[in-house]
Structure 1
Amino acid sequence: MKLNVMTLGRCEYENALDIQYDILKKRQDGYIEDTLILVEHLPVITLGRRAEKSNIIGSEKLLEDSGIKIYQTNRGGDVTYHGLGQIVGYPIFNLKKMHIGIRKFVRNIEEVFIRLLKDKYNIDAERNQEHTGVWVNNNKIVAIGLAVKKGVTMHGFSFNVNSNLDHFKLIVPCGISDKGVTSIERILGKTVDFHEANQYVIEYFSKIFNQDHL
């Protein structure tokens, strides 16, 4: 199978959402193959279907001063943050064609980053029995929140590469108060090549999902 990869570069959340819906409809109608959208968002806080607004702990003024917008979404999960230095991915995949369920799909995404982090950065990451995502010790490095529309996935993951971790202090990330967040930069103590990290994501997505990227 062929995997379309669409790289948007830096893009406002609402613009990327419009693109997602366009690609989603085309995938549902069979006009295109599975597509992975990769983007770096300007600072934004998004709320999933189960989100509690009380998990946004920064004041409106502080958020405004920090240039951080807030959006309600239809994905699963609670509150999360996207910003510069973070790779956000939106896999628009037809689960029916892949013959897998959403749980297996999420585990595959987790596997992408567990392998990538070990092979490329020598970072030991793992799953958490209670929470989705990818973790390094007690800190989340990849958050996952999806929606499925007519058998096709949308929304996706956020991968902290060189993220501003101070911005996560403005929320209770994913509604989990007893755990933290981290990034490759924090773990290694240095900024890493962002373009290279994007290429690794494409490489490992293709490996785990057995698809050649176009």
Structure 2
Amino acid sequence: MQNTLCVTWLGRQPYRPVWELQHTLRRKRAAGTIPDVLLLLEHNPVITMGTRETSHEILLSPQELASRGVEVFKVERGGEVTYHGPGQLVAYPILSLRHHPRSVKKLVHHLEEVGIRVVARYGIEARRDPRYPGLWVEDRKIMAIGIAIRDGVTFHGIALNVHTDLEAFSWIVPCGIRDRGVTSIARETGQQLSVEEIARAWEETFLEVFGYRGERVPLQELLEGEVQPAEE
């Protein structure tokens, strides 16, 4: 029997409430009161820093960032500095590794595989680089990955550039890599696809790669515990 994955599309959201939401759902998943969850959304402009000290990789002053409406957060995911903003698909999988064992390495590999298959639908050949997690089109990064695990449950996730304003990446040293570029589906194809369309492709492909049975669930049902826990 396939495990159930509850999928929720949140639309465009500020960063902090969704970060807090991940922790709420993570705790519920660790307690076994909800199934695994996949959050799909796009963020308002924000720069996040991972567990390494990377404040020097933010190239604009706090005042310059504020004038552009960009927030900055230090968070507990792996990786270094990255940018989230409109036109970028963000996917946060809240998965129990205790009940559905898979190594962190395999988890990252699966997330990369989802990305490879999604962009291939639009004629883009993305590849892995063993030195850097994420996906690349030649020497241009199209998808970033940063995962955290607490109490055996994953949170944080991936950011796939759909039609993101790539100029924003010049405000930072993306993922600490100075000698490579950044790209998007729009840049590579000339197509202005919606983030929601790519989210549907991501959902379908995620279910296929991870072997889940998907169920679209309103967020409020998850928060109120109205979704039956997965059979472990």
State the TM-score, normalized to the length of structure 1. 0.97
Q: Deviation digits for residues 101-160 of structure 1, max 9, x if unmatched?
A: 101000000000111111x10100000020000111101111000110011101111010
**Separation in structure 1 between the aligned mates of residue 195 and residue 186 of structure 2, nearest angstrom:** 10
**Separation in structure 2 between the aligned mates of residue 76 and residue 27 of structure 1, nearest angstrom:** 21
Aligned match of 2:7 = 5
Determine what percentage of the aligned residue pairs are the same residue.
41
Contact 2:5 2:214 (C-alpha < 8 Å) held by counterparts: yes
Is structure 2 residue 58 aligned with structure 1 residue 33? no
**Structure 1: gaps of 5 or more residues:** none
Aligned match of 2:176 = 175
Q: How does 1:113-132 map to 2 (within 5 A)?
A: 113-118=115-120, 120-132=121-133
Aligned match of 1:62 = 64
State the TM-score, normalized to the length of structure 2. 0.90
Q: How many residues align?
A: 213
Aligned match of 1:93 = 95
**Secondary structure of the structure 1 residue equivalent to 2:156:** strand
**Secondary structure of the structure 2 residue equivalent to 1:88:** strand
**Structure 2: gaps of 5 or more residues:** 216-232
Aligned match of 1:21 = 23
Larger Rg: 2
**Separation in structure 2 between the aligned mates of residue 126 and residue 96 of structure 1, nearest angstrom:** 29
Contact 1:85 1:162 (C-alpha < 8 Å) held by counterparts: yes
Output the amino acid matched with 2:73. Answer: Y
Stretches of 4+ moved more than 4 A in 1? Answer: none
Structure with more contact order per residue of length (Cα contacts < 8 Å, sep ≥ 6): 2
Deviation at 1:96, TM superposition (A): 1.9
Query: Which of 36, 42, 45 in structure 2 is aligned with 1:43?
Result: 45
Contact 2:14 2:44 (C-alpha < 8 Å) held by counterparts: yes
